[in-house]
Amino acid sequence: MSVRCLFFGKYTPDSIKGILSGSDRMAAVKAVVEAAGGSVNMVSFTRGPYDVVVDMNLPSQEMMMGAMATVEASGSMSNTMYLECVDGDPVWEAARSIASAYKPANA
């Protein structure tokens, strides 16, 4: 089973110096994802609280967490986060199946 994930990260000042010196970040992203057995769908540099977002497919949640740990341990990024993309239909079906059993605190 493949896991689709969105990774968000903010470059550290030292990393920005490296980028300005010509470090190929797209190649670095692809190398990490491929080493984890995955594929890159899209990489985009962004404005806002994160500098980069990566849309990727990886073989498992463990590989996603391992890739994220590798990037964090390098010190090249801070404020990293990943979101696992899931099919909403099974989630809503599960919610519908248990909804009648839930009683809110104010009921």
Please write the tens of the pLDDT for every residue from 38-76: 999 999 999 999 999 999 999 999 999 999 899 999 999
User: What are the residue ranges spanned by the domains of the chain?
Assistant: 3-101
Total Cβ atoms within 10 A of residue 1:
5
Q: Are residues 51 and 9 in contact, defined by beta-carbon separation less than 8 angstroms?
A: yes
Q: Report the pLDDT value the prediction gives residue 107, as an integer from 0 to 100.
A: 78
Angle, vertex CA 94, rays to CA 88 and CA 99, nearest 5: 120
Q: Which pTM does this prediction carry?
A: 0.83
- Using DSSP's 3-state secondary structure scheme, residue 8 falls into strand
Topology annotation, domain 3-101:
Alpha-Beta Plaits (3.30.70)
> What is the C-alpha separation between 64 and 38, in angstroms, rounded?
9
Q: What is the pLDDT of residues 78-103, one digit of tens each?
A: 889 999 999 999 999 999 999 999 98
Q: Tokens in use for 48?
A: 């806002």
